[in-house]
Amino acid sequence: MSEKNHLYLVDGSSYIFRAYHRLPPLTNPKGVPVGAVYGYTTMLWKLAKDLHDADGPTHLAVILDHSSQSFRNEIYDQYKANRPEPPEDLRPQFPLIRDATRAFSLPCIEMEGFEADDLIASYTEAAVAAGWDVTIVSSDKDLMQLIREPAEGPHVDMLDTMKNVRLGLEAVNEKFGVAPDLVGDVLALMGDSVDNVPGVRGVGPKTATKLIQEYGNLTAALNGADGMKASKLRDNLIEHRAMAELSRVLVELKSDVPLIDALDDLKLGSIPPLPLKTFLDEHGFRSLSAKLDLGATPGGPPTFPRANAAPVTAPAGPSTPTLPAMPPIDRSVYECVTTVEALDRWIAEARVAHVVGIDTETASLDSVTGRLVGVSMATAPGRACYIPLGHGGTDMFAEKPEQIAMDVAIGRLHALFADDAVLKVGHNLKYDIGVLAQHGVTVAPYDDTLVMSFALDAGKHQHGLDELAKLHLDHICLTFKEMCGTGKSQISFAEVQLDRATEYAAEDADVALRLWKLLKLRLPIEGGTRVYEMVDRPLASIVEGMERAGIMVNRDYLAKL
């Protein structure tokens, strides 16, 4: 192991949200939800075990948000004001994060009035000043401001444990197009809808990056607005200068917060097995508990099993959780999104929810060649929209309704659909993945309710969306025939009036999200999680890729069989 100190700072608050949506909804023997806690615990185990690797930690601390309020709310009272309450089954898991950290005998640091990001920045600066390397265990874009790779001296990088990749200067440049010290300037111009940072109206990521690249920094870009040619961008930069300057203050990481624990107190040593064993058994984390009984310890190399170790009694399986109440399906409340502002609002809502139901509408049933007509999204049961993109007749004189330009909408949706912090949920997503792939859009991570249903109830009934809606939700969906007709009078979905198209398309996304909330609870209880997550779900994108690229067949070899 290297003699140089290497501090790992775990962004515990953000990790629990990611783990919540990426892992199945487990409950402990007492019926308390612990799916996110299990994901967090396995991550800590791996990090502690990496102590003996060349780039592993010598020191480690978990950093948490103390509350939803910080000094930024005193500066701007609307900061993070649009964030909804955490999901009901996630709330009881927050204190368990602290319990898990203590079970590993690791420092757990939080401070009233400051966000976890501020504490991470402060510990990073202190460690760098002491000559230590730092790894920030997070994928939060705001923390990219701290990355540094000097020719000599301490390095600061980030580790995304969900993807098992390290993020350095190349990742910063790929995402923002600027060096880490200018990331805050880009964020100040583009704003952040998740945190309700205002930015400059009409300035997105690409424009913000271009301005900082051209002018060098935020102040220069704002000062240069007067000399720009007349345009909406020029007017917005002048009109919203105060908002940009306020935003720069909000996105700045405070790096001089007093350190609660000294750097040397964060040293990562051997982890006492007893408190960890107690915690693992209490919450039914049997695989990790079994490793301890076999002598494996996360803080060091495996040891021989204890001769007098008592047999492990398997804890009771998870209790059956109760499906939360959902509002009745009301198609009249669905929104038809025809402006960029409305689309940005829905995308921000999806990021805050960390899960979004999606569906695509096309002019034909071939996912490889079918023309994309629109996209629907649902951020909560009863909260859905339709984004028309290709409605109207096919000839040049046909009247086309108001809708967002395809390239503009795709650019925004691509960032959301590829965001690994937002789970995409759909029914028969293989089709939608193929349709969106035509436009260079990646969909990940995802859950497919058709595949989930088949994993649970193969052979019992049909698994189409309409059948499952009737079976599980006692709801009858609108049919394609009702929208487009049949026979010679049948029309393309692109010709359906937007009000009717919205009811049909948004309903599909809404129903898929509702089904997911039910089926995801059944998977771990009925033993379907392993097959679904390791076999069935990954095959959807693999088979879609084969359909799109085609396969090569060796006729001579086949003839010999």
Q: Where is pLDDT greater, at 320 or 106?
A: 106
Strands across the sheet containing 446-448:
335-336, 383-388, 372-380, 355-362, 423-426, 446-448
* pLDDT of residue 89 exceeding 50: yes
Last residue of a domain, one of 235, 251, 267: 251
Q: Where is pLDDT greater, at 355 or 319?
A: 355
* pLDDT of residue 405 exceeding 50: yes
What CATH number has the domain bearing residue 381? 3.30.420.10
pTM above 0.85, yes or no: no
Lowest average pLDDT, out of 16-30, 237-251, 265-279, 461-475, goes to 16-30
Are residues 335 and 441 both part of a single domain?
yes
Write out the two tokens for 396.
Answer: 């040049």
Residue-number span of the structural domain to which 158 is assigned: 6-251
Beta bridge partners of 108: 62
Residue with tokens 């004001």: 81
Q: Where is pLDDT greater, at 55 or 506?
A: 506
Q: What is the pLDDT of residue 302?
A: 35
Has residue 489 been placed in a domain? yes
What CATH number has the domain bearing residue 54? 3.40.50.1010
Q: What is the pLDDT of residue 272?
A: 84
Neighbours of 207 (CB within 10 A): 16
The whole-angstrom separation of Cα 136 and Cα 147 is: 9
Last residue of a domain, one of 229, 251, 273: 251
Are residues 241 and 336 both part of a single domain?
no
Has residue 292 been placed in a domain? no
Q: Do 45 and 170 meet the contact criterion of CB atoms below 8 Å apart?
A: no
Has residue 266 been placed in a domain? no
Are residues 244 and 347 both part of a single domain?
no
Peptide bond into 57 cis (omega under 30): no
Are residues 381 and 478 both part of a single domain?
yes
Write out the two tokens for 418.
Answer: 């590829």
Has residue 486 been placed in a domain? yes
Has residue 274 been placed in a domain? no
Q: Do 360 and 206 meet the contact criterion of CB atoms below 8 Å apart?
A: no
* DSSP-derived pairing of the beta strands 355-362 and 372-380: antiparallel
Measure the CA angle with vertex 179, ends 177 and 182; round to 5°: 95
Q: List pLDDT tens digits, range 351-370.
A: 988 899 999 999 887 766 78
DSSP 230: S
Q: What is the pLDDT of residue 501?
A: 96
Q: How many distinct structural domains can be found in the chain? A: 2
Cα-to-chain-centroid distance, residue 397:
42
Last residue of a domain, one of 197, 226, 251: 251
The whole-angstrom separation of Cα 447 and Cα 556 is: 40
The whole-angstrom separation of Cα 393 and Cα 413 is: 24
Has residue 300 been placed in a domain? no
Has residue 413 been placed in a domain? yes
Are residues 89 and 192 both part of a single domain?
yes
Side-chain-side CA neighbours of residue 402 (13 Å) = 5
Has residue 173 been placed in a domain? yes
